Amino acid sequence: MKKTQTGKQARKINKLWWLLGVLSLLWLISCRPQDRKGSPEPVLQPELLQKFETMKNLGLRQEKAHDFLKLITSVGSRLTGSPEADRAVELVYNLMTELGFDRVWTEPVNVRRWVRGPAEEAVARSLKLGTQSLKICALGNSLGTPADGLEAGVVEVRSFEELASMKDIIPGRIVFYNAPMDRTVAEPFTAYGQVAGFRVRGASEAARYGARAVLVRSITFRLDDNPHTGLMEYDDRLPKIPAAAISTADAELLHNWLQVDPELKIWFRTNCRQEEPVTSANVIGQLTGSEFPEEIILVGGHLDSWDLSPGAHDNAAGCAVALEVLRLIKEAGLKPRRTVRAVLFMDEEFGGTGGRAYAASENRKQEKHLVAIEQDRGGAAPVGLAFSLESLIATLKPLKTHLEPLGINWVRIGGGGVDIAPLREKGTILGSLIPESQRYFDFHHSSLDVPEAVHPRELELQAVILAMVIYFLAEKGV
| Active site positions, annotated | 348
Nearer to Zn ion, 144 or 300 (CB): 300
Stretch that binds Zn ion, among 136-144, 308-316, 444-452, 463-471 (CB under 5 A): 308-316
Decide: helix, strand or coil at residue 283.
strand
Nearer to Zn ion, 209 or 443 (CB): 443
Least Cα distance to 446 among 137, 41, 36, 170 occurs for 137
Count of alpha carbons within 13 angstroms of residue 149, beta-carbon side: 15
Stretch that binds Zn ion, among 30-38, 239-247, 315-323, 469-477 (CB under 5 A): 315-323
**309 contributes a contact to Zn ion by CB under 5 A:** no
| Shortest Å distance, C-beta 351 to Zn ion | 13
What long-range pairs does 357-360 form, CB within 8 A, spacing at least 24?
A: 357/107, 357/108, 357/109, 357/110, 357/282, 358/107, 358/282, 358/419, 358/422, 358/423, 359/422, 359/423, 359/426, 360/422
**304 contributes a contact to Zn ion by CB under 5 A:** no
Stretch that binds Zn ion, among 29-37, 54-62, 190-198, 307-315 (CB under 5 A): 307-315
| Shortest Å distance, C-beta 345 to Zn ion | 10
**Hey, what amino acid is at 38?**
G
Residue 42 and residue 102: Cα distance in Å, rounded? Answer: 33
Span between the terminal Cα atoms of the chain, in Å: 60
Stretch that binds Zn ion, among 92-100, 312-320, 361-369, 426-434 (CB under 5 A): 312-320
Nearer to Zn ion, 178 or 282 (CB): 282
| Shortest Å distance, C-beta 224 to Zn ion | 21
Nearer to Zn ion, 81 or 242 (CB): 81
Which of the residues 347 through 376 are near Zn ion (CB under 5 A)?
Answer: 376
| Shortest Å distance, C-beta 416 to Zn ion | 13
Nearer to Zn ion, 314 or 460 (CB): 314
Strand 265-269, strand 243-246: pairing: unpaired
**315 contributes a contact to Zn ion by CB under 5 A:** yes
Stretch that binds Zn ion, among 104-112, 131-139, 306-314, 399-407 (CB under 5 A): 306-314
| Shortest Å distance, C-beta 375 to Zn ion | 10
Size of the site for Zn ion (CB under 5 A): 3
Q: Is the dihedral of CA 135, 140, 142, 146 positive or negative?
A: positive
Residue 390 and residue 413: Cα distance in Å, rounded? Answer: 6
Nearer to Zn ion, 239 or 351 (CB): 351
Q: Which residues contact 172 (CB under 8 A, 6 or more apart)?
A: 152, 153, 210, 211, 212
Decide: helix, strand or coil at residue 462.
helix
Least Cα distance to 178 among 266, 306, 273, 271 occurs for 266
Instruction: Fill in the per-residue mask, 179 to 208: x = in contact with Zn ion (CB under 5 A), - = not in contact.
Output: ------------------------------
Instruction: Fill in the per-residue mask, 75 to 114: x = in contact with Zn ion (CB under 5 A), - = not in contact.
Output: ----------------------------------------
Which of the residues 373 through 392 are near Zn ion (CB under 5 A)?
Answer: 376
Nearer to Zn ion, 107 or 376 (CB): 376
- Cis amide leading into 271 (omega within 30): no
| Shortest Å distance, C-beta 376 to Zn ion | 4
**314 contributes a contact to Zn ion by CB under 5 A:** yes
Report the greatest alpha carbon distance in the chain.
124
Strand 213-217, strand 174-177: pairing: parallel
**CA-CA-CA-CA dihedral for 77, 326, 436, 66, to nearest 10:** -50
Helix (H) or strand (E) holding 411: strand 410-413
| Shortest Å distance, C-beta 350 to Zn ion | 11
- Applying CB under 5 A, which residues contact Zn ion? 314-315, 376
